[in-house]
Structures are given as structure tokens and as C-alpha cells.
Structure 1
Amino acid sequence: MTTASNARFNAEALSWDSNPDVQLATTLAHKAYLSRLPPAATLATYNVLDLGCGTGLLSLALAPSVRSVTAVDAAEGMIAALESKLGASASSKSNRNVSAVCALLQDPDDARLATDPATATTKPGRRFDLVVSHLVLHHIPDLPALFRTMHGCLAPGGRVMVTDFEDFGPAARTFHPEARMAGVERHGIDRAQIRSVLEEAGFGDVKVETAFEMEKKVETEPGSGVMGPVVMFPFLICEGTRGG
């Protein structure tokens, strides 16, 4: 993720959760993930890595269903917001299986991933059963490098599952107002391109399909700042498995 992205997300961290579009997209993504994941008894054994976790909306939604969640983001403001949530829930003993890590993750053996949130023990070279990422891919300059890192973070048989809006043509650009284009590397993700990226990173059983569609207000004119028309944005879910 670029410096421009980090600056933008640090500035928006405190108000991030108040955006209804952010909340809705996360809710729909969470539903799409659960519909494709194993039954509850198996899922409860999963250690999950959430890359580009933001304020932890998806991480905290997944936490009750899995063994642990390691939530990683490069923006200090986003991680601070998540840590605040984790601190607030400490008295109720909820979310004890979630840890927040501020990092621009490039190495699967990064020592910051070594701590197990469920036990607070450290295991160098720790690997995950599932890597998730939501609304992050369109901010990443080098997608092949990101998916190689994801592949390296998985245990044999582990899965990657990521969601982002689709590049369905010129109207996809309207997903972001012109004033919020800092750090936007592409206007959605291309089905064929992302399939190739996953396969070249070493993933098998690759699937790229529509997960859900979401209505979103867009600017009446680019740069006007006036929101009016509604556009239906398709979201893709991209999956793959690391071989044994």
C-alpha cells in the first residue's frame, strides 16, 4: 500500500465506521465468506489472517466463528481504532482471540505474525488456515507480490478469500469521489487478471465469481462533491488453495 493510501486512511480512521457504505459492504462480504467456508465445527479451528483490516470490522465479525484472527493494516490510525475496540471489549472477555498488528506485510515469516492471539504464545513461522482481505486490492500497486505473500502465509491446504468491487467498465471509476482518489491504484479488479495473478502465485482451485452487488451513491459530476445518482457495483470474491 502506498504512502498516499496510508495518509488517507490515517485521516479517515476515526470516522470510518460511521460510513454506511463501509458497514454494508463489510456485512455483505462477511455473509459471502461464511457461505463458502466449512461448517461451524471445522471453522472454529481456523486461524485467520486479515490483511488490510482497517478498523477491524471484518475481523471482529469473523472472530466468534474461528479460533483466532490476526488483523494487519499498514495505517497506524486504523490499527489504533481497532486496538481501542479490543480494549473496550476486554472487560466483557469478548474478542480475546483477536490481535491487531500495524505492518506493511511483505514477508510470511514477519515476527509480528508469530504471536497466537488465542494463547499469547509465540511460534516463529506461524501459518494460517485462511487469509482474507476486503476492499484492499484496488489500493495495491503490486498484486502479484501481495498474493505471493498471502500464499506464503498459508499452511498447506489453507485458503485465500478476498473481496473487492469489480472493474465493470468506465462507471467503476465513480466508486470513489474524485477527492478520495489518493492511493487508488485501479478502479476495481478485473476477473481474468485476478485469476491469472492467483494461479501464478501458486494457488490451486482458483475461483473468481460475483459475491454480491451493492448500491452506492456517486457524484453527480466528477469532482463536484455532490452525491446523487445510484450505481450498482458488483463485488467479486476471489478464492484459491495452497497445495500440500
Structure 2
Amino acid sequence: MSTPPPRETRFNEEASQWDSNPSVQRATSLAHQALLSRISCSQKDISTYDVLEIGCGTGLLSLSFAPSVRSITALDAAQGMIDVLKSKLQTSHTNIKNVLPVCALLEDPNDERIQLDPVNLEPPAAEEKRRFDLITSHLVLHHIPDLQPLLSLMFAALKPSTGKIMLTDYENFGPEARKFHPESKMDEVERHGIERAEMTRLMENAGFVDVKVEVAFEMEKPIETFPGSGIMEGKMNFPFLFCEGRRP
């Protein structure tokens, strides 16, 4: 078995304690609220939606969103995160039956692992490919080395004419955005947040229309008192961007 990349190694190690982080819980809750409010503004009935979440972690967003939609394929490259999500779904008090956890680094919209229907665990009919009404991600984009191929992959995995992406991540508003992560975790960070103009350009380059990139919410989180100290006694507000686009 090959050794997982450092990013997956870190998230495997942190999976069991992931949900105990108040900042993780708060950011996910705010992302979920932003997601629902923007769908509500579009007056869409999403009860029939099949959703793909990329970088689902322990499933905090997927499990919150599941009662609103038909199905969610919850994808993450870290097996530890997926194992925690599976454990949640198997507990007796969880009545969620429409979430399918998948451990994969998605590189192909026709990947067999995302072709199964989470509700009935059946593949699509012969010669058909499963496509999604909505693809979402939260705090994932700043970990991706090259965003253009990922956005193009999302585009290909959506239903034509109606399929949408709705993505949230913190904004790169300047040098201070670096403080979002302690120095000990910088190896897994590809960029210090996402930029509005760049995200608009990349989404349009991938083929998306009706593109909107705007601040959805702000969140205060602990920061290091000084870089590398490991002492998280400071606090700072970080804006989060909501990136939305439709496949024509």
C-alpha cells in the first residue's frame, strides 16, 4: 500500500478529534446557513436534488444538509475522515439513509465510486452517467494546488442546464489572511484563502455562467499570539466567500 500524501496523513490523524474543534463546528454551521439561504432566495425545491460534497471531512455539512435533499455523495480523500462519517451513519440514533461516504481523490466525473445512488446503492442504467444537481465544498479550495482542473471536473460532473456549484472558503484579503492557520499546519495549505477576482475568472474559464463570488459571513477564530508560538490566545475575524455558478 502506498503512503498517503502529507495532507491526507494529517487529516487521518485528526479525524477522531475533528468534531471537537469549536471553530470547525461554527464554520460548518455558518456555511450550511449560507447554503440554505441562497437556495431559498432562488425559490428552488431541492428535495429532489442529488448532491456531491467534495472534501466532506467527518460529514458535518453533509449530515446537516441531508434532510433537505434527495441524496448526498460525501467524498473525501482521507480514509480517517470517511471512517468517522461511516461510524456516525451506523449509530442507532442516526436516521439518515441518503448519505453515501466515499473515500477517493476525484479525478474523473465518471468514477464508478460516485456513480452509485446513495438511496438504493444502484448504478445508473447502462450507458448512462450519473450527474449531480449540486456540488458543494467547504474549506477545501485553499488546500488544492491547482483550482482550474478541479472546477472543470465539477463542471463535468453536473447536470447540464441546471446543475450548480456552491462553494465556501475563507477569503484571501491580504497578508493577515495567513493567520487563519497556525504555522505548524502550513505544509497542507496551498493558498491563504481564495480571491474574489481569481475565483470569478477560474469559474468562468471552466464554463460556468451566472457566476457570483461574494462574502457570505464572517467568523472569529483563535489565532497564534505570534507565528510559530503554538499559543492560540489571539482572535481575529475572517470573511468567508460564497462561490456560485451554473453549468449551462
Secondary structure at the aligned position of 1:226 is classed as: coil
Query: RMSD over aligned Cα, in angstroms?
Result: 1.4
**Richer in strand (by share):** 1
SS at match of 1:225: coil
The one-letter code of the counterpart of 2:80 is G
Q: What is the CA–CA distance in structure 2 between the aligned matches of 1:186 and 1:234, rounded to whole Å?
A: 15
1:46 matches 2:42: no
Amino acid at match of 1:121: E
Q: Normalized against structure 2, the TM-score is what?
A: 0.94
Task: Give the drift of 1:73.
Answer: 0.3
Q: Distance in 1 between matches of 2:6 and 2:172?
A: 22
Gaps of 5+ in 1: none
1:231 paired to 2:236: yes
Q: How does 1:60-79 map to 2 (within 5 A)?
A: 60-79=63-82
Q: What letter is aligned with 1:164?
A: D
SS for the counterpart of 2:192 is coil
Q: Which residue of 2 aligns with 1:130?
A: 134
Count of aligned residue pairs for this structure pair: 240
Matched, 1:205 2:210: yes
Residue of structure 2 in register with 1:80 after alignment: 83
TM-score, normalising length from structure 1? 0.95
Identical columns (%): 58
Determine the C-alpha separation between the residues in 2 that align with 1:182 and 1:118. Answer: 38
Describe how 1:1-244 pairs up with structure 2 within 5 A.
3-38=5-40, 42-88=45-91, 91-92=92-93, 94-123=95-124, 125-156=129-160, 157-243=162-248
Q: Deviations over 1:119-169 (max 9, x none)?
A: 221115200000000000000001001000110110011100000000011
The separation in 2 between residues aligned to 1:240 and 1:51, in whole angstroms, is 16
C-alpha distance in structure 1 between counterparts of 2:5 and 2:240, whole Å: 26
Report the CA distance shift for 1:196/1:66 in structure 2 as closer, same or farther (over 3 A): same
CA distance in 2, matches of 1:36, 1:161: 9
How far apart are residue 92 of structure 1 and its match? 4.8
Shift of 1:41: 7.4
SS at match of 2:237: strand
Unmatched runs of 5 consecutive residues or more in structure 2:
none
Quick check: 2:131–2:157 contact (8 Å CA) kept in 1? yes
User: What are the Cα deviations for residues 106-126 of structure 1, in whole angstroms up to 9, with x where unaligned?
Assistant: 100000011111122111520
The whole-number CA distance in structure 2 between the counterparts of 1:40 and 1:119 is 28
C-alpha distance in 2, partners of 1:135/1:26? 9
Shift of 1:182: 2.2
| SS of residue matched to 1:205 | strand
Conserved? CA contact 2:50–2:72, under 8 Å: yes
1: CA distance, partners of 2:94 / 2:225: 46
- 1:51 and 1:208 map into 2 onto residues whose CA distance is 19
Q: In structure 2, give the amino acid aligned to 1:236.
A: L
Q: Distance in 2 between matches of 1:92 and 1:8?
A: 29
Instruction: Report if the CA contact (8 A) 1:48-1:69 is conserved.
Output: yes
Does the 8 Å contact 1:40/1:65 carry over to 2?
Answer: no
Distance 1:197 1:85 in 2: 35
Q: Distance in 2 between matches of 1:219 and 1:92?
A: 38
